[in-house]
Structure 1
Amino acid sequence: MHKYLLAFLLFSTAAHAQSVEFSKERFGSNKDGLKAALKEIKSGDEWYLSDPPRYEQALPHYLEAQKLNSENAELNLKIGDCYLHSGFKPRALSFLQKAYQLNSGVDPRIHYLLGRGLHLNGKWKEAIAEYKQATPATGTKNTAPFTQDIQKKIQECESGRKLAEKPVRVFIDNAGPGVNSPYPDYGPVISADESVILFTSRRQGSTGGEKDPESGGFFEDVYQSNREGDTWGTARNLGETVNSAGHDATVGLSPDAQRMLVYVEDNGGDLNEANLRGATWAKPQRLGNRINSKAHESSAAYSPDGKSLLLVSDKPGGLGGRDIYKVEIDGRGQAVNLGPTINTPYGEEGVFLHPDGKTMYFSSEGHNSMGGYDIFKSTFQNGKWSAPENLGWPINTPDDDVFFVISASGRHGYYSSFRDDGLGSKDIYQITFLGPEKPPVLSQEDQLLASRALPVKETLLAPPVPVATAQVTILKGTVTDDATKQPLEATIDVIDNSLNQTIASFRSNAQSGRYLVSLPSGVNYGIVVKQEGYLFHSENFDLPAGAAYSEVVKDIPLKKLDVGVKVVLNNIFFDFDKATLRKESTGELVRLQTLLAETPALRLEISGHTDNVGNASYNKDLSQRRAKSVVDYLVGKGISKDRLTFAGYGDTQPVAPNTTKANRQQNRRTEFKVTGK
């Protein structure tokens, strides 16, 4: 009895899993339905069988036909194949499985396609099994490329399986309607403090309003959104100065969001640079031939000092498809390949350099990718780049994960993805890094006094988990006229005090006066702000190696040269408890010397100040000796001593209450006062 029942069930299953054709027998009296279905299939086939195939255009037609007959093996296979070539690749699996269920011989590629569908859904073991059954197309003479492709995809599945077993702790959230639209939005770049995001969109309302005849979508334009509290404000098109009637895409942004790299289709794919002038972006200018070649330069990233680029190119002589190079923007040398530690025989793309200047993020089809492009991280140590580290699951997926950027704090990353919670197409997402999971608090009961009826409970707390932070300080604020409070466009020089070298120069925004400077740890920095007609302003940031991320807001009022004006010289340093000038003071002293040389009538009082710690009489004497050391230096450089006086005020003129360490540091200072001009 059981034998006959089993046979009946097998027969019923086989009968049910038969492909149903689009025929008069299937549709019966529904002639209009058959006619409509065949029309949709014909329209889909025109796109599907074109050279090259237009899967995106074919898919809607096949889905319409599917509504009229969902049991056709060939149609299910075509829908699955179209999804494999779309942004929503994981959706292919159910259609491919149904096609195979209806007809296991539906297509010679079926095992390969099933492998892809399973792979893209993270079903690693099942995908490997299908890949192993895949065979090259009939009549293929050279099967080596097919074999290599299968081996690569099996390797990707093995990598994915291992990475998925140890997922990283992150939140991945849609960046919201201020940024995203029902159209493709992608390629985000951000300022170091996450106050500005620029991205590429193919939304309605693009410059020129035309559609690309190749893809059918609108041409790419660059958009900008500013952060408003915890959300992104409504994005605006940057207009015709940046965007043309063709494709324009942003690929890089300086940490202060004052310079932008734009990809254009000229010459096979080139990089242009645009500068922010007040509230308006200037027209992008083509970068030189050392950066752009006849090949395809697809993306790039600024170094924190703005002097060099990391760029991606498929120029001849590389190690694979596209490689990552380093090149000086205004130098003379050619772009240098980063070498086999970073570049693979496959493609690299979407490079980004963190504001710390030593941490690089990029996407690669090589290394231990789990499929397509994965995002990797490498650190520049001891003169070389470290072995790339996969950012892990679920940041990386079996599909392409490209164009990742991260804030200076290291807390948030941004990239684009096709996800079911999107607003219609590819959207931009924010990744929040949570750090390693904290071990549970352990409560152990030790029999410390065994003779007692109740044991003493000793609670052992798990040690805190350190959260790694970026080793960089972000200094930002606004430069204004001290008297009128109006914003100023000023030059901001970043100086390595130990070397007395200017390592970077920036400008505050002409309209808002805002500035932002990225300071990697490990340097004693002098910050000098200057503008014609004003006295220079200096700040000091001594950041030891390994100093954790911090963000300092410093508004800078520049003072005009008037009698009675005082300026603190924050980059003059003395040996402890002495009046001996340290070599790190040289840059500040030279600036003071230059000011006096350029203004022959200028007369100054140099004064020394201390906090209130210690003997008041001793502090006054020390402050006076330090002021005299500055005057002696200037006189030694040719400045007439008749133009200079010095005074030591000890702790009698504090600029902050002597109640904290930071305040006392402010009070220990050297300054000058204009006594004549």
Structure 2
Amino acid sequence: MPLVNKVTYSMKFTRLAALAAALLLAVPALAQSVEFSKDRFGNDKEGLKTAQKEIKAGDEWYFADPPKYERALPHYLEAQKFNPNNAQLNLKIGDCYLNSGFRPRSLSYLQKAFELDGEVDPRMHFLLGRGLHLNARWQEAIAEYKKAVPPTGAKNALALQQEIRKHITECESGMALMKKPTRVFIDNAGPGVNSPFPDYGPVISADESVILFTSRRNNSTGGQTDPESGGFFEDVYQSNRAGDGWGPARALAEPVNTDGHDATVGLSPDGQRMLIYVENNGGDLNECDLRGNKWSKPQTLGKRVNTNAHESSASYSPDGRILYFVSDQPEGSLGSRDIYRIELEGKGKAVNLGPAINTPYGEEGVFMHPDGKTMYFSSEGHNSMGGYDIFKSVYENGKWSKPENLGWPINTPDDDVFFVISASGRHGYYSSYRDDGQGSKDIYQITFLGPEKPPVLSNEDQLLASRAAPVKETVLAAAVPVATTQVTILKGIVTDAESKQPLEATIDVVDNQKNQTIASFRSNSQSGRYLVSLPSGINYGIVVRQEGYLFHSENFDLPAGAAYSEVVKDIALKKLNVGAKVVLNNIFFDTDKSTLRKESTAELERLVALLNETPKLRIEISGHTDNVGNPAYNQKLSENRARVVVDYLITKGIDKGRLTFAGYGLTQPVASNTTKEGRQQNRRTEFKVLEK
């Protein structure tokens, strides 16, 4: 997937450099630079002929419009084997590397070109500055940038000077960030995911059970190669968690992968909806759904998202109702590429996130964390240390916080983009070119370690040497926990209670305080698996429902600031049969009273709807308590609470002849009363089917 069509100093001077190079080739070589000529290599005419042929082939790509640097590079490297001491050839190789995926490799060739002939190219100091910059040699890079004066009469001289100043600022940012490195481990994701071919653009489910990514492998669908880069076309691959690593990746079948470019850019937290980049209309975003174990045909997100411009990356909000995406559309833009927000339901327009996030430079690779408020994205602006750096911003009190650079060594002087992070905040994933790669761009896992724990000091009083037992004082350092996110992941499998077979069902997420359904999901039709992301600060009702079954409810009251947790809850739905019982987990009473709280409304209305949908249904409402307190008192309390629920149903038009109530006090426990959790389960309201 094309990242961004960058216009750099070196590219702006390509035509000027071509002219300069032609003139320089006509000038007799300096002593240090060895020319490809008969008087130097007369004893190896065949070798010289082959090398000159390779240079000619490389030049056809190098001086093309636009230049094809990666196509030119292999030819130049072959010629380099024959004669490594030609200034012009070293410069071209360095320039090709600067415009490739292995940009830090440019430095040694550029340095050699300069040593062989200091005036080999009018861009020399700038190119050296870029090579030093990309290798984090900040001070040396700044020195070269300061020498890089645009040639007299060059077009856009002011813009070029501004670019140089920006690179100097990036180097200054790099020096500052490098002094306070982020405590992380960065590990190759392994051979299950990575291959000798480019692997990039990872997206993960919130619990890290699934990773999907883009790759240019030689077994791509259609087997075609891109005429621009020469590499194979992109396909989408999937790998599943296998212990501490990843299992063997497999290419997704049609209709996701086609004969053209197919790249994944986003995944819903539950892994059931995927965002796909397709190369049409300048570059558009499509989405598809996982139905059982097959993905549906990608469908366009429509004209409210896709324009005649280039839409390149996107991310869902946790509830799936909002899309954050990147576009270079000119309308409302603050820079070359901006991040936008749009509500997927309705007809509203996309809204630019504004200058707190977007800069006059490019933004890319947006990812919304499952907590619903923390956004990660890449930017060439803010305090980037070079190219795209990854930033984090939090939306609170109606505004975005100042973007925070994730720091060194996560960010480097090169492009760092398309970063995603698990719901726990413990692991991040992105792609990078590194020495330990499988052969090309690879996917890496970042493990965040948190702040460093202060050392534990032990002070021993050695002054009282005559004492048999010296006085010791131990100063204990305070524990420094690894920061966790404020989100709970609820996941499990939905089954039929009788057959035990996986079941597709709807999972509604309800804000009990507001009596609003804030999100709806589906369990997978083949596996029954579901996953729901619950940001802290809400009293949630979780309702699982399917036609022909009694609904199942759970309650998660997550106070603001509640730390990350992962809850596994398998749910067995019961068919609407006589004798079936359902616990109403979202009916709440005031403490030690039978007064219904308003948070109970959503659950009670679900029960009203069930009774209206099934006119012959007769039920018993029952109240239950734990074993704490006087048994007679508990019996009366449970009966009163059941009666109050029946009274509510009658006020909603349900015939009282269809309803009975009973209080069972502490006589029907469903869990042990020896634990707090068990006693909480025993304090419940149920309904039982008497007739249907």
Fold-level match, TM-score > 0.5?
yes
Matches within 5 A, 1:55-70: 55-70=69-84
Matches within 5 A, 1:233-312: 233-312=247-326
Matches within 5 A, 1:210-609: 210-316=224-330, 317-445=332-460, 452=467, 454-609=469-624
Amino acid at match of 1:375: I
Amino acid at match of 1:618: Y
5+ residue gaps, structure 2, are 1-28
Amino acid at match of 2:268: S
Amino acid at match of 2:509: V
Is this contact kept in 2: 1:608–1:669, CA < 8 A?
Answer: yes
- TM-score between the two structures when normalised by the length of structure 2: 0.94
Q: Secondary structure at the match of 2:450?
A: coil
Alpha-carbon distance in 2 for matches of 1:91, 1:633: 74
Is this contact kept in 2: 1:448–1:456, CA < 8 A?
Answer: no
Q: Pick from 208, 213, 217: which aligns with 1:194?
A: 208
Alpha-carbon distance in 1 for matches of 2:381, 2:396: 22
- The offset of 1:142, in angstroms, is 3.8
Q: Secondary structure at the match of 2:378?
A: strand
Amino acid at match of 2:241: R
Is this contact kept in 2: 1:500–1:586, CA < 8 A?
Answer: yes
Task: Report Cα offsets for 1:631-652 as digits up to 9, x if no partner.
Answer: 1111222222222221111221
Q: Pick from 61, 65, 69: which aligns with 1:47?
A: 61
Is this contact kept in 1: 2:336–2:360, CA < 8 A?
Answer: yes
Amino acid at match of 1:623: S
Is this contact kept in 1: 2:267–2:315, CA < 8 A?
Answer: yes
Q: Pick from 82, 105, 112: which aligns with 1:98?
A: 112
Which residue pairs with 1:7 in the alignment?
A: none
Q: Give the stretch that moved more between structures: 664-673 or 643-652.
A: 643-652
Amino acid at match of 2:396: Q
Q: Secondary structure at the match of 2:72?
A: helix
Amino acid at match of 2:588: F
Alpha-carbon distance in 2 for matches of 1:332, 1:324: 19
Q: Is residue 136 of structure 2 the alignment partner of residue 122 of structure 1? A: yes
Alpha-carbon distance in 1 for matches of 2:341, 2:205: 21
Alpha-carbon distance in 2 for matches of 1:111, 1:301: 40
Task: Report Cα offsets for 1:448-491 as digits up to 9, x if no partner.
Answer: 99995654111011100122101000000011100001111101
5+ residue gaps, structure 1, are 1-14
Is this contact kept in 1: 2:30–2:117, CA < 8 A?
Answer: no
Task: Report Cα offsets for 1:59-113 as digits up to 9, x if no partner.
Answer: 1111111111111111111111111111111111111111111111111111000
Q: Give the stretch that moved more between structures: 446-455 or 134-143.
A: 446-455
Alpha-carbon distance in 1 for matches of 2:101, 2:228: 17
Which residue pairs with 1:177 in the alignment?
A: 191
Amino acid at match of 2:552: H
Which residue pairs with 2:685 in the alignment?
A: 670
- The offset of 1:26, in angstroms, is 2.6
- Identical-residue share of aligned pairs (%): 79
Alpha-carbon distance in 2 for matches of 1:187, 1:55: 23
- The offset of 1:588, in angstroms, is 0.6
Q: Secondary structure at the match of 2:146?
A: helix
Q: Give the stretch that moved more between structures: 123-132 or 134-143.
A: 134-143
Q: Give the stretch that moved more between structures: 497-506 or 229-238.
A: 229-238
Q: Secondary structure at the match of 2:281?
A: helix
Alpha-carbon distance in 1 for matches of 2:483, 2:534: 18
Task: Report Cα offsets for 1:345-386 as digits up to 9, x if no partner.
Answer: 000001000000000000000000000000000000101111
Alpha-carbon distance in 2 for matches of 1:431, 1:674: 52
Is this contact kept in 2: 1:196–1:227, CA < 8 A?
Answer: yes
Q: Secondary structure at the match of 1:267?
A: coil
- The offset of 1:659, in angstroms, is 2.1
- The offset of 1:214, in angstroms, is 1.1
Q: Secondary structure at the match of 2:452?
A: coil
- The offset of 1:186, in angstroms, is 0.7
Alpha-carbon distance in 1 for matches of 2:556, 2:576: 26
Q: Give the stretch that moved more between structures: 203-212 or 299-308.
A: 203-212
- The offset of 1:445, in angstroms, is 3.1
Task: Report Cα offsets for 1:18-64 as digits up to 9, x if no partner.
Answer: 11222233324122222222121111111111111111111111111
Is this contact kept in 2: 1:17–1:101, CA < 8 A?
Answer: no
Q: Pick from 28, 46, 52: which aligns with 1:32?
A: 46
- The offset of 1:202, in angstroms, is 1.0
- The offset of 1:501, in angstroms, is 0.2
Q: Is residue 98 of structure 2 the alignment partner of residue 84 of structure 1? A: yes
Amino acid at match of 1:62: Y
Q: Give the stretch that moved more between structures: 585-594 or 651-660.
A: 651-660
Distance 1:197 1:141, change over 3 A: closer
Task: Report Cα offsets for 1:179-225 as digits up to 9, x if no partner.
Answer: 11111111111100011111111111111111111111111111111
Alpha-carbon distance in 1 for matches of 2:415, 2:155: 30
